[in-house]
Amino acid sequence: MKEQKLKELLEKMTLSEKIAQMVQIQGRLLNAGSEEAVTGPLGELNIDPAMLDNIGSVLNAEGAENLKRLQSEYAKRSAHGIPLLFMLDIINGYKTIFPIPLAQGCSWSPELLSAAAGAAAREAASSGLHVNFSPMVDVVRDARWGRVMETAGGEDPFLGELYAEAVVRGYQRGLSDTEGAMAACVKHFAGYGAAEAGREYNTVDITERRLRNEYLPPYKAAVDAGCEMVMTAFNIVDGIPMSANTHLMRDVLRGEWGFDGVVVSDYAAVRELIPHGAAENDADAAKKALLAGVDIDMGTNIYANNLESLVLGGEVPESLIDEAVLRILHLKNKLGLFESPFRGASEEQELKLHRCVEHLSLARETAARSCVLLKNDAGVLPLKPGTKIALIGPYANSELLCGMWSHVLGAPQGTVTLERGLLERLPDESLSSAPGCDILEECEQVPSAFQYKYPAPLSKPEEQWQKALDTAKQADVVVLALGEHCMQTGEGASRTDPRLPQKQRKLAREIAALGKKTVVVVFCGRPLDLSELSAEVDSLLIAWFPGTEGGHAVADILLGERSPVGRLNMSFPRAAGQCPVYYNHYSTGRPRQEKNRFTTGYSDCENEPLYPFGFGLSYTNFKYGGLILDKNVLTPNSTITLRVVVENVGERPGEETVQLYIRDICGSVVRPVKELRAFERVELQAGEKKVISFSITEQMLKFWTADMVFCAEPGRFEAMAGPNSENLLIEAFEYREE
Ligand code: GLC
């Protein structure tokens, strides 16, 4: 439809019909029967049926047949036949489940994340979905927070920018002219990952400068990539809840960044202005959210039941309603919904695309590249042919490999367990398996989310325990498959003690005491405190929640079919007490000196994490040398070329991720001790060496200064190159303005 036609449509709409476009409810309430309309959740929602007949969007409904029916029935009731938008959280795949985003981010491969996003969009679009509440790009530095699992950039804004752009591009490729794409909704604007103490929905209180330097870049990268929607976060920033934060939404998001898409609140975040203490009542909440720039009120009746009287009472201008509604209509038009309200919804396409061979193969590749090998003493991995293997632990044959969000609409189908992945490749007599214990004790279960129901506990637990020990005794190598439960991660799952469940830690101790070569595969959604475990075993592989093809991917690595290439995007703490722990920290006035108590640190723990940002092993070894800069003075229009020699000094080919960090020694505000600014993945045969080059530019030095200007400041810098954020070769250079 032409833009002018949209304006004409808007002029035909009544105020109430316009407001209805700004309301979003659960899809299941759309065609609720009369009893639900009166007594159940719809009754509680208390929205006028006439308004319901014209609402603009729903969430959490899916399926081609279902959404075509909903759209058809809705069209008969709505005043102007404006199609509904269907939105859903597709965090790591729709029916083919990919590794959780935190895992995918360890691939250091934006193109892989873009491909995975494209596959998810094609599958979801075939089921009639239009908007994906993804990517979540919050920078996260506290492993106690359950939602670290949802972000690919981890603790680093630079990685976060690269992934935000790649994933938006993957979802929205050809949005206007292909039915296999989806509109992306970047979230949660802004700073949700900085919740104090890692406690869910807790206070965020950071300066605007720190927000701009360390938390906003990934959101901006998503907007610059053309992301169609932005979701406001639950938290406050500088004392103002994001859904009422006029400065960040109208001055920064729309003013500075030029975002002209739709802003949707997070679930009930408009109503939550009241318990935040930022709004007196529903009407006040509606007014503040509208003035700040929230276009769609997700999940409540605050807009539905208050905006009309606010306009008629002269408290808010109708022009703000018109702007919001025009943005919503514009998005529906961009998706082609006026001409084809069913868009890509097709049962035939669902059968063809859902868990198709191409997507499963991509999921296997992504899962393999997401795994991170943290320890491999004596080269126990890869497992040698002919080895008798005991696969022990609650994740030995568990299908719970897809992460919390994949359960939004029911358990994923067809997940490949680790046992199946190994059995498909090993002769039967070489693999024996026993769970040993449950993932969680009943007392450890967290309130389940959505439709998830915890499986029944193992019967005869003592016998199972003993069987596991006996099975291990018969083997050459024990592979322990352990992990936190997927419902211990994601939203509403902050933990004060981010370790493996107690029973599993006990099982690991007793297995390790047998004296066998022991490999541990950890399935998790956050950097766990693995201090105790890592000291007891020979090899440690982080598989995260690897998705539908997890069992195949982990088996590929354990058996040497593929080498591990993952590098950490988030530091692993030595203890919860270290959190938040991250590589790009400030120096402080008393940098750590061993044996000097009056320097920054703890009396009972090192400052450094157990495993640092950027760290990961492969099945070979790499040596770095010959770091050189072609000049030592950088000016605005020049570049410095940094060269470093990387050599494969092992017996197997391998892929290395060479990382470039920059340090600004002294600035008008203090600067992090280092910041990732570039990286390059390189394949090296055994014995091969390559010169890797990076261009250092003024752009890499820019930050928000004491005067709140985004620029580079003259002075001394260090360029660092190496395999991770701790093991680096360093060369100094200077930046001069001329
Ligand atoms: C949730 C989450 C948000 C999600 C939304 C819709 O509370 O915070 O990430 O997209 O509600 O499910």
Q: Is the CB of 266 under 6 A from ligand 1?
A: yes
Q: Is 715 exposed, middle or buried (0-12, 13-18, 19+ CB in 10 A)?
A: middle
Check: pTM over 0.95? Answer yes or no: yes
Q: Could you read off the pLDDT of 602-645 as tens digits, one per residue?
A: 999 999 999 999 999 999 999 999 999 999 999 998 999 999 99
pLDDT at 38: 65
State the DSSP string of 282-342.
Answer: HHHHHHHHHHHT--BEESSSHHHHHHHHHHHTTSS-HHHHHHHHHHHHHHHHHTTTTT-TT
- Is the pLDDT at 442 greater than 90? The verdict is no
CA-nearest residue, atom 11 of ligand 1: 267
Active-site annotation, residues: 266
Q: Could you read off the pLDDT of 167-226 as tens digits, one per residue?
A: 999 999 989 877 899 999 999 999 999 999 999 999 999 999 999 999 999 999 999 999
Cα Rg of the chain, angstroms:
26
Q: Which of 52, 51, 54 is nearest to 80 (CA)?
A: 54
Q: Is the CB of 731 under 6 A from ligand 1?
A: no
Q: Is the CB of 491 under 6 A from ligand 1?
A: yes
Mode of pairing for the β-strands spanning 372-376 and 477-483: unpaired
* Cα(266) to centroid(ligand 1), Å: 6
Please compute the mean of the pLDDT values over residues 293-317 and round it to a whole number. 98
Residue 592 is encoded by which pair of tokens? 């750590």
* Cα(542) to centroid(ligand 1), Å: 27
Q: Could you read off the pLDDT of 491-542 as tens digits, one per residue?
A: 999 999 999 999 999 999 999 999 999 999 999 999 999 999 999 999 999 9
The CA distance from 276 to 136, in Å, is 23
CA 622 to chain centre: 30
Pocket test for ligand 1, best of 267, 405, 451 (most atoms within 8 A of CB): 267
- Is the pLDDT at 596 greater than 90? The verdict is yes
* Cα(481) to centroid(ligand 1), Å: 31
Measured CA angle at 174 (ends 173, 177), to 5 deg? 155
pLDDT at 314: 98
- Is the pLDDT at 1 greater than 90? The verdict is no
Please compute the mean of the pLDDT values over residues 276-291 and round it to a whole number. 98
CA-nearest residue, atom 6 of ligand 1: 267
